[in-house]
């Protein structure tokens, strides 16, 4: 009795995960499209690859995998070999890219590795690149962003889809609504193998600390916290999209090829002006500037007309001259 219940329950896990992923892809994945799974060899991406393998003939797409070898851990080559073996066994084409990760400025090795990985993914000749981020990752990202004092852009966490590069593939995360527990149940039911990255257990990493210490505590009082935080991220993403539209409209009134019109900027409410400033600075290709600097720009906008205040950040300069805020990039860099 118990055995047959277990078999029935694992069949349900398998079917429902496959249906969920299929629902995420239907409507935009067209027959003949190429979809590349970013395969780390960990539980999540192995499950994603397995589910997609089961769906490829029904949905009629071309499936392949890519593994990025960052050469950071002693086991890096073993993980690459594991991915190649798995794909051979499942008859899925797999490419390995070896990248060199060198720490730059204040960035962590993980951040540089991630940036190199996304560069590789953006170069894939495919319509879609699928990542195996799931609901727990999303909820943890919301918490981490809250703890860092992020605004809407950070709190909306990871989008289910986004363009990786102009003319490049689109990134898709079909597991964003699926918990890690479900993925684990699926892997066990399907007798899958995967590799474990020991750095995922190191509690010195903020994400691991949340996962190992904070998550279990939240589970006691708020068992649905992963789903509810993920829902918040979706609401916030919608709010952010509305604000972006508003700033794009304001931008047409308030800026032209000379720069940002100071008087028009000050005709907006402060919150709207701050949002427009953020938007306009991003449009110019400049890095984000701090809340304090944005306030400073508004304050300096009211300085005497014969003064030419300057604001500097990350090598970029904003100068108020002849009724405009004009922006210039670091010396030696073209702003276009």
d(CA 97, CA 321): 49
Query: What stretch of H or E contains 320?
Result: strand 316-321
Q: Tell me how far, at minimum, the Cβ of 280 lies from ligand ATP, in Å.
A: 28
Measured from the CB atom, the residue of 210 and 277 that comes closer to ligand ATP is: 210
Q: Tell me how far, at minimum, the Cβ of 66 lies from ligand ATP, in Å.
A: 6
Q: Is 18 flagged in the annotation as binding? A: no
Q: Is 245 flagged in the annotation as binding? A: no
d(CA 142, CA 158): 9
d(CA 22, CA 35): 13
Of the candidates 67, 13, 73, 65, the one whose C-alpha atom is nearest the C-alpha of residue 34 is: 65
Q: Are strands 259-261 and 255-256 parallel, antiparallel or unpaired?
A: antiparallel
Measured from the CB atom, the residue of 185 and 320 that comes closer to ligand ATP is: 185
Q: Tell me how far, at minimum, the Cβ of 16 lies from ligand ATP, in Å.
A: 20
Q: Tell me how far, at minimum, the Cβ of 240 lies from ligand ATP, in Å.
A: 19
Q: Is 151 flagged in the annotation as binding? A: no
Q: Is 232 flagged in the annotation as binding? A: no
Measured from the CB atom, the residue of 117 and 185 that comes closer to ligand ATP is: 117
Q: Is 215 flagged in the annotation as binding? A: no
Measured from the CB atom, the residue of 118 and 313 that comes closer to ligand ATP is: 118
Residues engaged in binding ligand ATP (CB under 6 A): 38-40, 44-45, 67-68, 114, 117, 131-133, 137, 207
Q: Tell me how far, at minimum, the Cβ of 129 lies from ligand ATP, in Å.
A: 9
Reading the block at residue 220, the tokens are 């006691």
Contact 36, 130 (CB under 8 A): yes
Measured from the CB atom, the residue of 131 and 229 that comes closer to ligand ATP is: 131
Edge-to-edge order in the sheet of strand 62-69: 94-98, 62-69, 34-38, 128-130, 170-172, 161-163
Q: Is 43 flagged in the annotation as binding? A: yes
- Beta partners for residue 129, in sequence order: 36, 171
List, as residue ranges, the binding site for ATP: 40-45
């Amino acid at each position: 009795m118990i055995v047959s219940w277990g078999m029935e329950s694992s069949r349900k896990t398998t079917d429902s995960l496959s249906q969920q992923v299929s629902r995420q892809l239907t409507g935009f994945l067209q027959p003949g499209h190429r979809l590349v799974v970013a395969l780390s060899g960990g539980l999540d991406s192995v499950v994603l690859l397995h589910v997609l393998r089961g769906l490829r003939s029904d949905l009629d797409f071309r499936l392949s995998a890519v593994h990025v070898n960052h050469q950071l851990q002693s086991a890096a080559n073993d993980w690459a070999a594991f991915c190649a073996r798995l794909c051979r066994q499942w008859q899925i084409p797999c490419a390995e890219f070896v990248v060199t990760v060198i720490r730059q400025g204040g960035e962590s090795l993980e951040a540089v590795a991630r940036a190199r990985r996304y560069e590789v993914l953006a170069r894939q000749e495919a319509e879609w690149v699928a990542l195996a981020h799931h609901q727990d990752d999303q909820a943890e990202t919301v918490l981490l962003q809250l703890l860092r004092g992020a605004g809407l852009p950070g709190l909306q966490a990871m989008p289910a889809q986004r363009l990786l590069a102009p003319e490049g593939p689109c990134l898709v995360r079909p597991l964003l609504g699926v918990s890690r527990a479900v993925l684990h149940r699926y892997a066990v039911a399907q007798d899958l193998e995967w590799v474990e990255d020991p750095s995922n257990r190191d509690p010195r990493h903020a994400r691991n600390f949340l996962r190992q210490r904070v998550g279990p505590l939240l589970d006691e009082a708020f068992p649905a916290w992963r789903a509810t935080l993920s829902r918040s991220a979706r609401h916030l993403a919608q709010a952010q999209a509305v604000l972006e539209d508003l700033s794009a409209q304001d931008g047409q009134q308030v800026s032209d090829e000379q720069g940002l019109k100071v008087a028009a900027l000050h005709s907006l409410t402060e919150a709207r002006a701050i949002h427009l400033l953020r938007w306009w600075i991003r449009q110019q290709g400049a890095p984000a500037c701090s809340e304090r600097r944005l306030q400073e720009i508004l304050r300096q906008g009211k300085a005497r007309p014969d003064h030419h205040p300057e604001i500097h950040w990350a090598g970029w300069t904003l100068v108020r001259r002849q009724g405009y805020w004009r922006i210039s990039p670091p010396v030696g860099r073209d702003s276009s």
